[in-house]
Structure 1
Amino acid sequence: MNENLKSADSRATYQQLINSGAFKPFFQPIVSLEDQRVVGFELLARRILPEGLIVSPAEFIPVMEQYGLLNELMTSLASQGFMTARTWPEHQFLSINVSPSQLNGKHLPDIIRKLGERYQFSLSRLRIEITETALIDDVETARAEIEALSEMGCMIAMDDFGTGCSSLAWLIQLPASTLKIDGSFIRSMLHKKDSRKIISSVVGLGRSLDMDVIAEGVETEEEAEMLRGIGCPYAQGYLFGRPIPAEETRNLLTAGSGSHIHRRVARMSLEQRAHQISSMYAAPDTSICFLSPELIVVDASDTFAARVGWPMQDITHRHIFEVIPSQAEKLLWLQDFRIKGLPYPPFEVKLPGGTIDLIMITQVEDEAKELLGFCIFGFNLDCKTRSVQP
């Protein structure tokens, strides 16, 4: 009984903290790696103590979840966030995080809809960030919640993408528009080849699905330069700006922060690009094949030849249907996407050894948009190769 009373008192205390405005939104900029424009902000919760100290969400979010107060906390923070974002240019978005426990089929879409109406904030400027675990626990309920939010105009972002080992097939079924690459891959990308391969595959996946890709946790110019060379369009992290209070966001936007970084994040040289392509050809878990417009194999990596079980010297000048007859029906199905002018969706192929490859196909065109052929890119989805130690 005493424990129940103690718990009730603690819940009431946190409820009072929410009502009194002790929790404030801070905003971290998300920038375009192409020109360093701030394209939006991620809202991050902070607790401000009376003496002015700032408490990290890692200390209070688990307690809020335990007491069932996450919706109340999000309502307070989103209200403040909507009022702040209304002062930004209309093309910039606000991104907020949603806990898996909030995708329970009860209140979230209704809360977001009412807040948008109350503060006259267009939900087309709102990006909802969810993690893979939110889908793994209860896929059907989470899908219904996400679809409801999307139908209201919200953009959906998959946060911490690449850290799980679940199938990627559900990405095609959900209305997600953004992939956020987990910061653990960014921190290790300069010295871990596996991290670079995973980042490249996620960027390629996003491009194939016409999705935005944001790299989280970018802290150095070297990381930004490598991400730009890989083709990642957006990033956030301390290199571009730490989380700031609401009143400072307008100053950041008017100052055009980030232009000094743009001069230092240079394009990759031809030598660097050649080295990157050579490295991809040599990677043991990455396979590449180039096809002519008539689907004849022009060139392929040793890994691709080994994957399909052909001697390297015999694979060129063969029709792709002859090389991988088991995928002929799938490749014919993909032709419909080309006819309609749509990007080719990725698909998974189970290999004889039991591992799974994610296959992505892109068109290769010249400057006049004349079709030169196709590139088939395969990435091993075996969980052992995807795990990255921090």
Structure 2
Amino acid sequence: MPTKRSELKTELRKALKNSEIVPYFQPMVGIRSGKLVGFEVLARWLHPQRGTIRPDEFIPLAEQADLIGELTDTILLQAFAATAALDKSLTISVNISPIQLRDPSLPEEIRRAAAMAAFPLNRLTIEITESALVDNLELAASIATKLKNLGVKLALDDFGTGYSSLRNLQALPFDELKVDRSFVSSMVQCRDSRKIVAAVIGLGQSLKLTTVAEGIENETQADILRWLGCDVGQGWIYGPPVSVHDLPKIVDAPMSTSTHTLHDSPASDLITCIKPLPSQRFAQLQAIYDGAPVALAFVDADLRYVSVNQRLASMNDIAVEEHLGKKLSEIVPPIIYTRIEPHLLHALKGEASSLEITRPGISEDAKGETFLVSHQPARDEGGEVIGVSVAMVDISERKLMEDALRESEDHYRHMVKLNPQMPWIMDPNGKTIDISPRWTELTGMSSDDTSNYGWKEMVHPDDLERLLTVLQASFQSGDAFDFNYRVLTRDKSWRWVRTRGQARRCASGEILRWYGSTEEIEEYMELKQKLRETEAALAALLEEKQQRL
């Protein structure tokens, strides 16, 4: 037969005297940082015959036997003594029975216990369940205020599971709001649980409360909570409750940071479906949406505008409000709509796409505008496409620049064919794009072999390192360069050439291309060498004549 409750009550009295009721410490971790921030203190009964007994079995007995105050004092004294010497940034949280929140002496008892262990009360958080506020909210508020005056923080535990009332949350000076484990454990499978978790965290953010999630068991849950902005987490993913003897190991051991990106996580699809978003996060996203330099819109399955940002409204020269509810065909000029409609329909079938469109100028003399438009299907949590996300980027200036550059390079190629030198074009990093046919005549290397960095194969080994040093310095600084070096010719001889180059920049200062030319200077170098030899011979004759004198 099971032990009778009356016998357990008697055993509980003995257990308190024999120090069988001890604190266990469950890690509490910053969800975004992965750092240990403190512990929740949980009572355990180390029964000599029955082993470890969980609090949900003996706490109700303690309340019925009027032993809850003594039990709490015992746990607090041990917890304070065990953690007083830990890093001052680490806090402890203790759950108070609803019965104790009716005892006006509670604040003084907590103060006395903390003083005995020299534990600073600004490191203590008292957790209060909603059920404790039902009977006498006024008395609870009075006791809570006294606790706050001692420096104690207050957390509302199990929010949303019992007598949920915003009045309760407003009536007491809470610092933390705890998300119950029942919602956390089911939020991966249950959309309603995700929405509740999002709403509770959003409420905490709006009220500037620290949000704590209980019962986190896996990375998917942690990912969702991190994205929603939850501050602190506890659960088996961070570690089980441990005895006071194992406390130093937990403090010294690194926690799981879990700060990876969500793209490859199972949580990524779930997170994007949570509606509504927490109010603070929604306000931030709305500000980004409205202030983005890119034109953005969301259209539903009937190709009606659901939302647009100010940038798109300005492009269309129509107020944001006048877009909403109207079909794109009513707003977008027919000449453009006929081009984008197939892409919209493909997006509704789940196929993302992008295209360039040009909008004609208002007058005959005005230049048109070119936009890069992307269409991305938007799906609900079931994977069904519910609309299309449209993004437009104005690339008119870039197109004009590309056209001008293309035209300039066409002229340049014509000039190259007539130029006795060897003009060339390089990209910003020094890769050869084009070079005069005369280079092939000189070296025997084809234009294809010369492209990219192929030209380096024809440079004399004694000159290559110095040449590359000069070029690299110019590519980094944007300064012009001028260098003499030897190249291997078609007849397998080495001949001197001179290469000069200069950067062409766009309006923003970014280098678009390097332009320059290479010319043979073998005769010049031979003449220069002969001049040096002649000067040396003359100097020798003068010296000999002076010695004779």
TM-score range, shorter chain: 0.5 to 0.7
Q: 1:278 to 1:94 in 2, by over 3 A?
A: closer
Aligned AA for 1:227? L
Match of 2:395 in 1: none
Match of 1:237 in 2: 235
1:268 aligns with 2:266: no
- Matches of 1:131 and 1:209 in 2, distance apart? 18
Match of 2:156 in 1: 158
Match of 1:37 in 2: 35
Q: CA deviation at 1:271?
A: 11
Do the aligned residues in 1 keep the contact of 2:298 with 2:307 (CA within 8 Å)? no
Q: Percent identity?
A: 34
- Matches of 1:231 and 1:27 in 2, distance apart? 25
SS of the aligned residue for 1:169 comes to: helix
Match of 2:130 in 1: 132
Aligned 1:1-390 pairs, distance under 5 A = 11=9, 13-50=11-48, 53-164=51-162, 166-256=164-254, 258=255, 261-262=256-257, 265-269=259-263, 279-280=273-274, 317=320
- Spell out, residue by residue over 1:90-125, the C-alpha distance to the aligned partner (whole angstroms, 9 max, x if none): 110011110111111332111101111111111100
Match of 2:421 in 1: none
Do the aligned residues in 2 keep the contact of 1:229 with 1:267 (CA within 8 Å)? no
- Spell out, residue by residue over 1:121-180, the C-alpha distance to the aligned partner (whole angstroms, 9 max, x if none): 111000101111111222111111111111111010111112135321332332111111
- Spell out, residue by residue over 1:19-45, the C-alpha distance to the aligned partner (whole angstroms, 9 max, x if none): 210111111000111122110001111
- Matches of 1:25 and 1:281 in 2, distance apart? 39
Gaps of 5+ in 2: 300-304, 309-318, 322-549
Do the aligned residues in 1 keep the contact of 2:262 with 2:268 (CA within 8 Å)? no
Q: 1:120 to 1:164 in 2, by over 3 A?
A: same
Aligned AA for 1:40? G
Q: CA deviation at 1:300?
A: 11
- Matches of 1:52 and 1:118 in 2, distance apart? 32
- Matches of 1:74 and 1:220 in 2, distance apart? 32
Aligned AA for 1:267? T
SS of the aligned residue for 1:147 comes to: helix
Aligned AA for 2:205? R
SS of the aligned residue for 1:24 comes to: strand
Q: CA deviation at 1:255?
A: 2.2
- Matches of 2:271 and 2:54 in 1, distance apart? 42
RMSD: 3.5
Do the aligned residues in 2 keep the contact of 1:206 with 1:212 (CA within 8 Å)? yes
Q: 1:12 to 1:51 in 2, by over 3 A?
A: closer
SS of the aligned residue for 1:262 comes to: coil
SS of the aligned residue for 1:180 comes to: strand
Q: CA deviation at 1:181?
A: 0.5
- Matches of 1:47 and 1:156 in 2, distance apart? 26
Report the TM-score, using the length of structure 1 for normalisation.
0.67
Q: CA deviation at 1:48?
A: 0.7
SS of the aligned residue for 2:247 comes to: helix
Gaps of 5+ in 1: 1-5, 303-310, 319-390
Aligned AA for 1:18? L
- Matches of 2:287 and 2:220 in 1, distance apart? 36
Q: 1:270 to 1:58 in 2, by over 3 A?
A: closer
Q: CA deviation at 1:251?
A: 1.6
Considering only CA atoms, is the larger Rg found in Structure 1 or Structure 2? Answer: 2
- Matches of 1:13 and 1:280 in 2, distance apart? 49
Aligned AA for 1:266? H
Match of 2:440 in 1: none
Q: CA deviation at 1:229?
A: 1.8
- Spell out, residue by residue over 1:270-318, the C-alpha distance to the aligned partner (whole angstroms, 9 max, x if none): 99999668634689xxxx788779x9xx99999xxxxxxxx9699x846
- Matches of 2:55 and 2:275 in 1, distance apart? 43
Do the aligned residues in 2 keep the contact of 1:281 with 1:301 (CA within 8 Å)? no
Aligned AA for 2:153? M
Q: 1:32 to 1:277 in 2, by over 3 A?
A: closer
Q: 1:30 to 1:191 in 2, by over 3 A?
A: same
Q: CA deviation at 1:240?
A: 0.7
- Matches of 1:43 and 1:17 in 2, distance apart? 18
Do the aligned residues in 1 keep the contact of 2:220 with 2:267 (CA within 8 Å)? no
- Spell out, residue by residue over 1:5-63, the C-alpha distance to the aligned partner (whole angstroms, 9 max, x if none): x96x8655432321210111111000111122110001111111225821111221111
Q: 1:222 to 1:18 in 2, by over 3 A?
A: same
